[in-house]
Amino acid sequence: MRLIEIALFLSPFVAFAVLRLVLPARGLPAWVLPVFAASVAVMLGLLLYLRSLDAGDAEQTYVPARLENGQVVPGHPERR
């Protein structure tokens, strides 16, 4: 999940850098700014969506990871 979040965050900046490398002499076309703004809006929306997937229910408590009989039991949400 974190790799997806990092890729989503960096994608508009990479796209802008590629565009500047492809069109260095001329100015940027008029469509670049709206596309850039839309990509940032989509990125933020997807980051919020991915964050909501990680969040537990409001009525659950988080039980941290622990060691039982030599085995690591991962952390998980649990009903109160």
Number of domains in the chain: 1
61 domain residue, yes or no:
no
> Rounded to an integer, what distance in angstroms lies between the CA atom of residue 46 and that of residue 54?
13
CB 59 within 8 A of CB 80: yes
Identify the domain containing residue 12 by its residue range. Answer: 1-52
The tens digit of pLDDT for each residue in 19-74 reads 788 877 777 778 878 988 998 899 899 988 888 876 667 788 888 999 999 999 99
Residue 57 within any structural domain of the chain: no
Top pLDDT among 1 and 37 is at 37
pLDDT score recorded for residue 69: 94
In a domain, 45, yes or no: yes
Domain assignment present for residue 74? The answer is no
Q: Enter the pTM of the model.
A: 0.46
Residue 39 in domain: yes
63 located within any domain: no
- pLDDT bin (cut points 50, 70, 90) of residue 5 is confident
Q: Helix, strand or coil for residue 74?
A: coil
Contact 9, 43 (CB under 8 A): yes
